[in-house]
Structure 1
Amino acid sequence: MQPPADGQPFDPATATIAIVTYNRSALLTRLLDSITAMDPKPGHVVIVDNASSDNTTELVESYRDRLGTELVYRRLDTNTGGSGGFSEGMRVAYELGSTWIWVMDDDVEVMPDGLARMGAWAPRFKSIQGRRYDFDGSEFYWQYRIAERMGIPIPFAPSGFDASGYKEMNSGCFEGMFIHRDIVGQIGLPDPRFFIYWDDQTYGWLASRVTTSVIVNEFVLRRTREIKQWDMGIRHMNASSDAYRYYIMRNRAIIKRYYRAAGVYNPVLFGLGTTLTFGKELIRLLLVERTVRGTSNLFRGLSDGRKIAKDASWQPMPPLVAGD
């Protein structure tokens, strides 16, 4: 475990915002508008386009001279999912020499002082998660801790903050992860093989194994897309899709491979986590989406996951810098 921080003052010009987008130019417009209003601004904005078929390319180019910072646009040949997009966005930001990489989807807006708020914590920590407002302006609760051996979020982790203004976490969320290049160098890029789901949780877990990762009591983002959800008070359960249901179960096998590589895999506890995940998705179908259709995707994901678990050639993502 590294000690927190080198104590160096934060320079906004060394930060890069890395955005992944796919066929949502209207939402991307709102995000880019919010970046133009930021003070301070990052040194770079990297936009990774997952082969959108709408007017995303023309939209991005229209902001090149008015964003107020250097814009780097990468249009991919195929849709690599959020996982592939964030892996590419972080790669580009890292190769630009960025000290800090702030990743986010296209369905958020950045608070005008968001970068300053995150940067205030940069001298102390190297893996930082800010908070965000939900679509309706309410405070979004993010499950910032996982039960490691089960590989699932802890839904009852305390939501409040004490006077320190931060809490240690062992997870991650690509909707606002703020991470130092030193950590990216050690743990490598996000794994594009997830395609969607569990990728950011696993990446945050990897980061927490080499540095003190924290969620800070700073509201820096706001979601701009409304999602059907079951309101349970502080916590919400969002609607899903057949694709998500498939990857939620299939990608358990990728997490298992990472756990085995790290020497923390417990078959009984991890199996319990998989069972609980399956049960949660059934509840999501019944109570949020009001249907029983979609369970076949859960079983299909489990089946394809078994192939990943048996793949003798599988390896974790490599570090970007050589270890000691």
Structure 2
Amino acid sequence: MNSAAGKIAIAIVTYNRSTFLAELLASAAAMDTPPYRIIVVDNASTDDTQDVIAAAASRFPEGVLVNHRLDTNTGGSGGFSEGTKVALEQGADWVWLMDDDVEILPDAIARFAPWMERFKVIHGRRYDFDGSPFYWQAKFNEFLGVPLPYSGKQFGREGYAITNSGTFEGMLIHADVVRTIGLPDPRFFISWDDATYAWLAAQHTDVVYVDAFVLKRKREQKQVNLGIRHLNDGSALFRFHVIRNRAYVGKYFAQYGKLNRLGFGLGTALTLAKEVFRLVVVQHTVKGVGDLARGFRANRALWRDTSWRPMDPAEVPAGPASSRGGNHDR
């Protein structure tokens, strides 16, 4: 089914969290306005994820739920890149990107609809697992090359705020923008991929946060409430990539002539300090410092890689898979 603004495909990336995925698919089936497609990218899960997807299929009209299982775990970055590609091959006008540990509110598409007539990259609001508003609005400080949180009062009378950062935990993006900037970059694996992708989009169109709740987080995490943002716990894999991937962010900034090497280096130092703070204050340990050190060494190697190129917009699918002979429904 189409919304007034076009065909919306929901792209979900999942890995070994079948219970959360089942709840998310149940919420998708209960939406007041059904989506055009639901693309589930299974990142080579080893649990019963495939059984959950098969069981959920009966809740949707034939062809709506697309089961796209990958042979290897490509991380969130690879999953969102693949999900976006499949959605566009299926003929979607919009791709709504989300993790598996959220629940879609029934009237989400109706809440998005007015904004879809005005903007092409949109973030709605989320409730946290305890029902409180989850705050994640940020803007890239281009001197430092880091997204910094800003006040919840930014929505103003019109109910939206312009930004240049974002998250794949709810980013709604028009196919035209994807065809302009390319698919999300799978090389990030995890961390910085979504903020950088929204920043790339912001070089071509308005990226907005809107004062409309459309999702609820379901997974409880250790966190510290700092007022203007929540700081969650992080894994060893996250710590490594959050430092390593600073090099990818910098390379994209350089592509647009926005890289200030002095400021960006300071931003990397601040990122490192934030991760040490996260270890000590949220996780009460310093054992993860080695992950950050490994990430920094990998960061230096990526900066020296002269073969790196940005994602190529020419590789973005032009239309439905049926016109290209592809079949991604496994």
Q: TM-score, normalized by length of structure 2?
A: 0.92
Q: How does 1:120-159 map to 2 (within 5 A)?
A: 120-155=114-149, 157-159=150-152
How far apart are 1:149 and its partner, in Å?
Answer: 2.5
Match of 1:45 in 2: 38
Whole-angstrom distance in 1 between the partners of 2:60 and 2:10: 12
Whole-angstrom distance in 1 between the partners of 2:27 and 2:5: 16
Match of 2:328 in 1: none
Q: What do the CA deviations read for 1:59-96 (whole angstroms, capped 9, x no partner)?
A: 10111121347111110000000000000000000111
Match of 2:223 in 1: 229
Match of 2:159 in 1: 165
Match of 2:257 in 1: 263
Q: TM-score, normalized by length of structure 1?
A: 0.94
Q: How does 1:171-320 map to 2 (within 5 A)?
A: 171-320=165-314
Match of 1:66 in 2: 59
State the aligned residue count: 313
Contact 1:10–1:120 (8 Å) recurs in 2: no
How far apart are 1:58 and its partner, in Å?
Answer: 1.1
Q: What do the CA deviations read for 1:208-248 (whole angstroms, capped 9, x no partner)?
A: 11001110000000000001001223421111111110000
How far apart are 1:268 and its partner, in Å?
Answer: 0.3
1:115 has 2:112 as partner: no
1:62 partner letter:
A
Of 7, 14, 33, which aligns to 1:14?
7
Whole-angstrom distance in 2 between the partners of 1:223 and 1:146: 24
Q: Calculate the aligned-residue CA RMSD, in Å.
A: 1.5
Whole-angstrom distance in 1 between the partners of 2:59 and 2:220: 28
Match of 2:324 in 1: none
2:157 partner letter:
A
Name the SS of the counterpart of 1:57 in structure 2: helix
How far apart are 1:12 and its partner, in Å?
Answer: 6.7
Match of 1:4 in 2: none
Match of 1:27 in 2: 20
1:105 has 2:99 as partner: yes
Contact 2:244–2:296 (8 Å) recurs in 1: yes
Q: Percentage identity across aligned positions?
A: 52
Whole-angstrom distance in 1 between the partners of 2:220 and 2:151: 25
Contact 1:15–1:44 (8 Å) recurs in 2: yes
Whole-angstrom distance in 1 between the partners of 2:295 and 2:10: 32
How far apart are 1:143 and its partner, in Å?
Answer: 3.0
2:300 partner letter:
R
How far apart are 1:320 and its partner, in Å?
Answer: 3.5
Contact 2:137–2:209 (8 Å) recurs in 1: no
Contact 2:5–2:117 (8 Å) recurs in 1: no
Q: Which runs of 5+ in 1 are unaligned?
A: 1-8
Whole-angstrom distance in 2 between the partners of 1:20 and 1:13: 22
Whole-angstrom distance in 2 between the partners of 1:90 and 1:229: 30
How far apart are 1:204 and its partner, in Å?
Answer: 0.3
Whole-angstrom distance in 2 between the partners of 1:233 and 1:260: 33
C-alpha spacing 1:88/1:321, structure 2 compared with 1 (3 Å): closer
Bigger CA drift: 36-45 or 139-148? 139-148
